[in-house]
Amino acid sequence: MATMSDPAFWSRIQFAFTVTYHYLFPQLTMGLAWFLVYWKWRALRTGDPEYARAVRFWARIFGLNFAVGVVTGIPMEFQFGTNWAGFSRHAGGVIGQTLAMEGMFAFFLESAFVGALIYGEKRLGSRAHFVAAVGVAVGSWLSAYFILVTNAFMQHPAGYRVEADGSLGIAALGDYLLNPWAWIQFAHNQMAAVVTGAFVVAAIGAFYALRGSHGVQARLYLRAGTLVGLIASLLVAFPTGDQQAKMVARHQPVTLAAMEGRFASGPMAGIAVIGQPNLVEKRLDNPIEIPGALSFLAYGTFEGEVHGLDEYPEDVWPDNIELLYYAFHLMITLGTIFIVLMAVACFQSWRGRLESTPWLLWLLLLALPFPYIANTLGWMTAELGRQPWLIYGLFRTRDGYSQVVSNGNVVFTLIGFTGLYFVLGVLFLFLVGREIGLGPEEETA
């Protein structure tokens, strides 16, 4: 386990903090972007002013999220050089491709259209405004793909070769860009972003329905939010989550063992519903297990031999097994609750009774933070599970930090980010709260 005097420790904390904070915003905009495209398209086709009104309202919410997403995103790219110079030197020949592509293909697309999408409806006219919505949606998903290819290379390297000086270079761009890990992770991650978007849309609909204001708009948000929420929650679990777990079982068996707190190998491996990993005794405390479930999920048969941590030397164990275990299990629990909640809400919506079921509206409103938590837990599982490797099996995290940067400097900038991001967060909540208070009927500056 890393300690505070470990030079990589503070750079890890800084990256983890800034990227976790950053990702609170894109996960909503990536999900919400397609709601905007859909409503704008309906507005164009039907001429119904309610759709155009929905686009105007959500474009303002989108704009605030996008702004914070952009300004908190720029430090991420810089940190590859500032804090992870060792990693950049070692792997820049490979990951430079996708980081440059993200800027050239995705960011130029998003940034050209986003201002016009939020403020330019009159200036652009309806058709060009629709084009802007599509441009922003496609750009944000492209950006996610390039980043996930980069992450997939760190999880499961593909398309590279070792150069004469020992660093990694690109060998086959196709293999690198079409890394199977990237496809599955992209599908899983994007569905999870749609879950966040759908839950937020439904929660705002529930908020207005409970207050008895903006009736038509509230119904629009509730119907779209719950239907998309149910579909996306199902897709996050199956097939994308299932495939993701099988991928981990195949390529990172030690990670799977740590995620499940399995210290011993064997067939008929169960999944613990309750239990805490005990690293001292090397066992799971007070486990309540579904027998055979892990073997079946990972390998498609109850006889599947699940490798335990005992098969691997401790220096390749993930360095924070407890956190990894809790993150993974809580994510699964939340994902299951999302499916149940959205299924009940969709059923009531189909019967036309959702708006007259206050307890369900309250649940939808209060559920708002949980997709954010589940997304964060998912990324914690992916990134803690990758440890102690920066590039799985090739390059350790402890070799990747910037040697010329002292711990003190990193602590200083980390504190700076904490303060700045706190202010940004307060500002964001104030402005979004104000937009929600003004509601979809109002036209604001």
Partner 1 sequence: MIAAWYGITSFMLIGYVALDGRNFGAGMLLWLVGRTRAERRQVVAAIGPLWSWHEVWLIAFGGTLFVAFPRLLSSAFAAYYLALFLILWCLVLRGMSLEVGGHIPDPLWSSFWDFVFVLSNGLLAILFGAAAGNVARGVPLDAHGQFSMAFFTDFRVTGQVGLLDWYTVSVAVFAMVLLAAHGATYLVLKTDGPVHERSRALAKLLWAAAAPLFLAITIESWSVRPDVPGRAIGNPLCWLGMLVVVGSILALVSGLAAGRERRAFAASNALLIGILATGAAAIFPVMLHSTLAPEDSLTAYDVASSPTALRLASIWWPVALALATSYSAFISRRYAGKVGVERDDQGVY
Q: Using the rule CB under 8 A, which residue among 170, 224, 247, 361 binds partner 1?
A: 170
Helix (H, G, I), strand (E, B) or coil at 389: strand
Measured from the CB of residue 36, what is the shortest distance to partner 1 in angstroms? 16
φ and ψ of 162, to 5 deg? -90, 125
Nearer to partner 1, 350 or 422 (CB): 422
Residues 340-369 within binding reach of partner 1 (CB under 8 A): none
Buried (b) or exposed (e) across 49-59, using 16+ Cβ within 10 A? ebbbbbbbbbb
The angle at the Cα of 262, spanning 319 to 395, to the nearest 5 degrees, equals 35
108 or 238, CB closer to partner 1? 108
> Binding partner 1 by CB under 8 A: which of 96, 287, 425, 439?
96
Shortest separation between residue 175's beta carbon and partner 1, angstroms: 12
The pair of structure tokens assigned to 166 is 């020992």
Among 16, 38, 92, 344, binds partner 1 (CB under 8 A): 92
Interface residues for partner 1 in 360-419 (CB under 8 A)?
402-405, 409, 412-413, 416
Nearer to partner 1 among residue 29 and residue 252 (C-beta): 29
Round to whole Å and give the CA distance between 71 and 76: 10
Q: Minimum distance from CB of 102 to partner 1 (Å)?
A: 7
Q: Which residues contact residue 219 at a Cβ distance below 8 angstroms, ignoring those fewer than 6 apart?
A: 205, 209, 355
Identify residues 266-285 at the interface with partner 1 (CB under 8 A). none
Residue from the set 32, 33, 64, 232 that interacts with partner 1 by CB under 8 A: 64
Closest CA to 398 of 103, 90, 92: 90
- Asked whether position 49 contacts partner 1 by CB under 8 A, the answer is no
Between 2 and 70, CB nearer to partner 1: 70
Contact (CB, 8 A) for 251 and 156: yes
Q: Answer yes or no whether residue 7 interacts with partner 1 by CB under 8 A.
A: no
- Whole-angstrom distance, CA of residue 43 vs CA of residue 429: 29
Provide the sign of the torsion angle of the four alpha carbons 60, 64, 69, 71, taken in this order.
positive
Which of 23-31, 74-82, 202-210, 357-365 is the region at the interface with partner 1 (rule: CB under 8 A)?
Answer: 74-82
